Amino acid sequence: MYDQQAHVGHSPIPGYPEERSREQSNTIIGAPGAAGAIPRIGATPKATVGSSVTREIVQVLFPALILALSIHLFLAQATIVFGRSMEPSLFERQRLIIDKLTYHFRAPYRNDIVVIKRPEMEELLVKRIIGLPSEKVEIRDGYVYINDRRLPEPFPHEQYPQNIPAYTLGPLEYYVLGDNRGNSNDSRAFGPILRKDILGRVWFRYWPLSQLHSF
């Protein structure tokens, strides 16, 4: 960085001989345009420092942004539980990680807890898969029947007395229910969901820390 306080090339100060002015100009170190000027050691132009910092920020942040976006789109996504439809398995304000990769390699299983995006709804839904493609699903007095056989449900859930007529699922349809059967908007209300409506399965609960759990 050049010494910006040095002034070279001005007219000699009145009353001083020109030789003295010339002598002074020859002793200025690092003056712009001075022949034989000695630059300050270790000094770096401000423009170079700024561009270097900008380049380093781009080199660090851009790959990190691409990685985060790729993870969000293809691998995993964080979400928050809103509502009480999955109690007692999930409670409101709990934070979850959605696995978006597994279903690229296999079909969803029965009892998987999944995150759903319905075309007609803005919000995401968290439900449990009960019926699989091509199965006949029916609810009698609150009990789920698959292909006329009562379905064992080995997870905590509310038993809600209700009757739903039998329905045979299509080749890409799934039947989903909330564990809180008396307080859930699910396939009993909007019908079966399509495979493409499933964003991923709930893989891990990471908040609160006292309730860490993998599903």
Q: How far apart are CA 50 and CA 56, in angstroms?
A: 10
Check residue 68 and give its pLDDT: 57
Confidence of residue 67 (pLDDT cuts 50, 70, 90): low
Domain match, 137 and 201 both = yes
Residue 181 pLDDT greater than 50, yes or no: yes
Domain match, 59 and 148 both = no
Query: Catalytic site residue 100?
Result: no
Domain match, 85 and 69 both = no
Average pLDDT over residues 167-184: 96
Check residue 125 and give its pLDDT: 94
Spatial contact of 193 and 116, defined as CB atoms under 8 Å apart: yes
Q: How far apart are CA 29 and CA 48, in angstroms?
A: 21
**Amino acid (1-letter code) at residue 86:** M
Check residue 28 and give its pLDDT: 39
Q: How far apart are CA 124 and CA 92, in angstroms?
A: 14
Domain match, 181 and 128 both = yes
CATH of the domain at 191: 2.10.109.10
The answer to whether residue 186 is domain-embedded is yes
- DSSP letters spanning 27-64: T-SS-TT-TT--PPTT---HHHHHHHHHHHHHHHHHHH
**pTM value > 0.75:** no
- Catalytic position from the list 85, 89, 184, 187: 85
| Residue range 127-173, pLDDT digits in tens | 999 999 999 999 999 999 999 999 999 888 888 899 999 999 999 99
- Catalytic position from the list 89, 127, 184, 187: 127
Domain match, 69 and 139 both = no
Check residue 17 and give its pLDDT: 45
Task: Give the up-direction half-sphere exposure of residue 148: CA atoms within 13 A in the CB hemisphere.
Answer: 0
| Residue range 25-59, pLDDT digits in tens | 444 344 444 445 455 555 555 556 667 767 666 66
The answer to whether residue 29 is domain-embedded is yes
Query: Catalytic site residue 127?
Result: yes
Q: How far apart are CA 215 and CA 204, in angstroms?
A: 6
Q: How far apart are CA 106 and CA 62, in angstroms?
A: 32
Check residue 92 and give its pLDDT: 93
Helix locations, the chain, DSSP H: 18-26, 46-70, 187-190
Spatial contact of 7 and 33, defined as CB atoms under 8 Å apart: no
| Residue range 77-115, pLDDT digits in tens | 888 898 999 999 999 999 999 999 999 999 999 999 999
Domain match, 139 and 209 both = yes
Check residue 45 and give its pLDDT: 55
Check residue 63 and give its pLDDT: 59
* Residue 194: closest CA among 111, 113, 129: 129
Domain match, 31 and 110 both = no
